[in-house]
Chain A
Amino acid sequence: MAKVKMTVNGRQVGSDCEDRTLLVHFLRDNLALTGTHVGCDTTQCGACVVHMDGRSVKSCTILAAQAAGSTITTIEGLAANGELHPVQAAFKANHGLQCGFCTPGMVMTAVDMIRRHGANLDEATVRAELDGNICRCTGYHNIVKSILAAAAEMAGAQQAAE
């Protein structure tokens, strides 16, 4: 048992957990942030993707102890002031989700993907970048469409701001 402290969705948190506790279980069980899901246990499906210090990571493959002191953003921390993040809004507008189970990981991956590629994203890049996120419902068609729409929307917003 150890007390692990980190910043999650802008809030300082600390909780006792077994040494073997994975970050995903720390988030789900200790902090009741159940939006981050476990889909495979082998770092394949990406349902558990969160942002750690600004980069997307699979929270099923990191011990909570390894994340001590870091800044974590989960799906619950993405929408600001009740407004959907542009990626969340694009998934809704383009029917980029069905059962919703892979969705938090898809959205967190997409946010990171757009951060790195910006408006340069094309379909082939999105599909290649989604290699670590499995969806069984959508056939990816509308997920790809959602991410491309969000990338265009966010690039446009950035341009307008500049």
Chain B
Amino acid sequence: MGVEGIGASVARKEDKRFLTGKGRYTDDMSVPGMKYAFFVRSPYAHARIKNIDMSAAKDMPGVIGILEGKQLQVDAIGNIICGWMIHSKDGSPMNMGVWRPLAHETVRYVGDAVAIVVAESLGEARDAAEAVVVDYEVLPAVTEAVKALEPGQPQLHPEAPNNLIFDWQIGDGAATEKAIAEAAHVTEITLRNNRLAPNPMEPRATLGIYDSAEDHYTCYTTSQNPHVARLVMSAFYNVAPENKLRVIAPDVGGGFGSKIYIYPEEIVCLWASKKTGVPVKWTCDRTEAFLTDAHGRDHVSTVKMAFDKDNRIIGLKVDTIANLGAYMSLFSSAVPTYLYATLLSGQYAIPAIHANVRTVYTNTVPVDAYRGAGRPEATYLLERTMETAARELGVSPAELRRQNFVRTFPYQTPLIMNYDAGDYEASLEAAMASADWNGFAARKAEAARHGKKRGIGMSCYIEACGIAPSAAVGSLGAGVGLWESAEVRVNAVGTIEVMTGSHSHGQGHETTFAQLVADRLGVPIDSVNIVHGDTDKVQMGMGTYGSRSGAVGMSAVVKALDKVEAKAKKIAAHLMEADESDIVIENGEVKVAGTDKTLPWFQVALAAYTAHNLPAGMEPGLKEGAFYDPSNFTFPAGCYICEVEVDPETGVTDIIQFVAADDFGNIINPMIVEGQVHGGIAQGIGQALLENVHYDPQNGQLITASYMDYAMPRADDLPSFKLSHQNTPCPSNPLGIKGCGEAGAIGSPPALMNAITDAIGNNNLTMPATPQKVWAALNAAN
């Protein structure tokens, strides 16, 4: 590796602008004539709209226009879609209800958008929105998925009787039942995966600009995938044809999944810009974000894990009910099915698995992918169950896991996935050594002398990343392919621009993608610019989520670089009168191997553009594009260990140490990878200890709608983390990368919950383990 190449902890190229206040986020954008939008939203969780009276609001100071859903329908703007078709086990397609960008018949969650007000200032837009009188007929609401399936509950959509969206299954039910019947021991547990608000620090925002002269739209937006946004707004929402719609996702302040989807506000602001004749900017406030950003998780599952007399797992049966909220968001159907149940084998060789998943409408904001998306749910379920089983069987939790690890690769699970490489024991050993697992008993005794209860817990996770082989996901119901594209443009002076369809919203692509180029060509990373986030500049792309940018996005860059290098070598061979096969490119020079003949990189680039002396028939220029479609998922895995101390007087949990041992395959920039793990762990600890979206079950009001009520992890809630890597290269992509973006959030919640339940001696504890719940569980156990 060079000092800036693959494997070097290079400081980030993009940092200077963020550190000096020169980042350009959507809300920082300003264009001439720009006006401000504020949305009128439903204060009720479920209601019929009888009338919308704008008469008073229209005459308020500064008001330019107020638009409602009926006009949207007249203009044939489409309803919001779910992009992944799931069929129930009886073969019927999922029961998808109608989601209008602006509701004009029925509102189904608190925050459902009803009208948009455009005014000279944000204050005036807000004042006028308050003066819009919506006459609602309030209907009963239901917020919990299990309850929504019961008879006699409020019905959200006529398309979905009993609020059931689909009843889906995977695996071999009969074989699993047989294993359970023949088992020496069956561990049974009911687990709740709490509902979370993703909370990127930058609230969503969008700026819609309509140019009447060109009949063209520009949309600045907080998106993880601007090309997907353009595609969907064009093909399904009828906003504008693709060639008349430019989507720009500039600097984006975190996403964690919640900025994958195309929300009503983007569609409505573009449309409103045409209707009002002014550029329209909308910026979400934090409470609005809690109300309207897609939430994550919200599963209730029952589990049966069957063991033979030697403590080998012989069967696993899972029944899950997943809350999808009031409408089906873009990937909502995939999260509790193919992103979740296919990972239920975990790191273990389990011969028979069956999972049944029912998804349900409720009067809550839509639920979709949030960091990990399905895989944290699978890992929490498995690793809480494994720990419970170890306690019931009276064996060490490490030993039980070791005994059941998959050890030979490739390994075909009973649930579609084919694990290609890994060494689960290596991560387990590394984590245990780092945590001084063997010294725990002494530390526990010492803590007891001070009146504290110590506990230790582990979690061995696996995830499927690098999503995904397009044909495979297509056969499972995906509406899009999940390849990535790249274009490498070598300028005449040898500097390089890489256009990528991946999108960075904190991941550091401007550095890591440049490191890849530096590694290949030996040019400094300062001479490489990474261009992303603009549909006018980048040809096409599927965006960033599912830890796919390295494994899929960079693989596309590799393919384009291969083509650039091949052409550069042809040119150099021609210029130096050598054989093409003898040309090597290193340290910024193009050389004839074994001779002193050499050309600086820029001279080859210049030759390509002057075109004075190129091989016969060769086109001028040095610019190549490529699409990369992965051949398999990638399978990052690892072992996390958490040690806690609980104060029995207060129920407060103190995290003494948190250890992560991960296998991410090859790593481009260790410093950035570690940062990803830190952030993921913090979100996982947040889920386990602090965070919970709470709707009032009586009326569907969101109780946790600000940082006063929703407990975000803060610096003093967390320890510093101990990290290590045990990397087995991924065999399915050219760089051997598995992906690292979500692991922390996937592996950490069960490790923490296993530690707390170990400390208090009561396994009956739900996330978040607040002091009140821990205190109650501790006292119930005694």
Contacts and interface: CB of A to CB of B under 8 A. Distances in A.
Contacts of B707: 40, 42, 44-45, 134
Interface stretch (B153-161, B169-177, B612-620, B709-717): B709-717
Given A33-B21, A98-B675, A136 B256 contact: yes
Interface string A124-154: 0011101101111111111111000000000
A92 B675 CA distance: 12
Interface in B248-302: 251-254, 256, 283, 285-287
Contacts of A134: 201, 707, 712, 714
B708 interface: yes
B604 interface: no
B381 to A, nearest CB: 24
A101 B201 contact: yes
Given A44-B706, A138-B678, A95 B123 contact: no
A123 B720 contact: yes
Interface residues of A, number: 56
B699 interface: no
Contacts of B507: 98
Contacts of A137: 201, 254, 506, 675, 679
Interface stretch (A63-71, A73-81, A114-122): A73-81
B672 interface: yes
A147 B744 CA distance: 23
Contact of A42 (B254, B506, B706, B744): B706
A106 B252 CA distance: 17
B123 to A, nearest CB: 6
Which 5 pairs from chain A and chain B are nearest by CB?
A35-B21, A100-B18, A101-B253, A139-B682, A99-B506
B310 interface: no
Contacts of A133: 715
A16 interface: no
Nearest to B671: A95
Contacts of A139: 678-683, 713, 718, 721, 744
27 contacts: A28-B28, A33-B21, A34-B25, A34-B28, A38-B27, A40-B286, A41-B285, A42-B706, A75-B20, A92-B15, A95-B675, A98-B254, A98-B506, A98-B507, A100-B17, A104-B18, A128-B715, A134-B712, A137-B254, A138-B675, A138-B682, A139-B682, A139-B744, A140-B714, A141-B678, A141-B718, A144-B715
A93 B679 contact: no
A18, A20, A76, A134 interface centre (most CB from chain B within 10 Å): A134
B716 A128 contact: yes
A62 interface: no
A129 to B, nearest CB: 8
A160 to B, nearest CB: 24
A102 interface: yes
Interface of B: 11-12, 14-25, 27-28, 30, 121, 123, 199-203, 251-254, 256, 283, 285-287, 505-508, 671-672, 674-675, 678-683, 706-708, 712-716, 718, 720-721, 744
A62 B573 CA distance: 67
Nearest to A47: B201
B214 to A, nearest CB: 27
Interface in A9-40: 18, 20, 28, 32-40
B16 to A, nearest CB: 7
B19, B123, B253, B672 interface centre (most CB from chain A within 10 Å): B19
Contact of A99 (B21, B202, B712): B202
Contacts of B713: 139
Contact of A39 (B28, B286, B683, B714): B286
A140 B678 CA distance: 8
A42 B22 contact: no
A97 B123 contact: no
A2 interface: no
A59 interface: no
Interface of A: 18, 20, 28, 32-42, 44-45, 47, 74-76, 78-79, 84, 88, 91-93, 95, 97-104, 107, 123, 126-128, 130-131, 133-145
Contacts of B716: 127-128, 130-131
A74 B251 CA distance: 20
A136 B254 contact: yes
A145 B678 CA distance: 12
Given A99-B505, A100-B18, A130 B715 contact: yes
B123 A84 contact: no
Contact of B708 (A34, A42, A98, A104): A42
Contacts of A84: 16, 19-20
A75 B283 CA distance: 22
Nearest to A40: B286
B25, B254, B256 interface centre (most CB from chain A within 10 Å): B254
Contacts of B715: 126-128, 130-131, 133, 135, 140, 143-144
A150 to B, nearest CB: 12
Given A20-B123, A134-B712, A39 B675 contact: no
A20 B127 CA distance: 13
Contacts of A99: 200-202, 251-254, 505-506
Contacts of A145: 720
A102 to B, nearest CB: 5
Contacts of B18: 97, 100, 103-104
B123 A100 contact: no
B404 to A, nearest CB: 30
A40 B286 CA distance: 5
Contacts of A41: 285-287, 706
A145 B199 CA distance: 24
A69 B17 CA distance: 29
Contacts of B11: 92-93, 95
Given A18-B123, A130-B715, A91 B19 contact: yes
A104 B203 contact: no
Contacts of B285: 38, 41
B590 to A, nearest CB: 33
B20 A144 contact: no
A95 B11 CA distance: 7
A142 B675 contact: yes
A66 to B, nearest CB: 17
Contacts of A104: 18, 21
A74 B21 contact: yes
Contacts of A78: 20
Given A98-B506, A99-B200, A99-B254, A36 B679 contact: no
Contacts of B708: 42, 44
A128 B253 CA distance: 24
B647 to A, nearest CB: 17
A99 B679 CA distance: 11
Given A42-B708, A91-B19, A137-B254, 16 more contacts: A34-B25, A35-B23, A42-B706, A75-B21, A88-B20, A98-B675, A99-B506, A100-B18, A128-B716, A137-B679, A138-B678, A139-B744, A140-B715, A141-B721, A143-B715, A144-B720
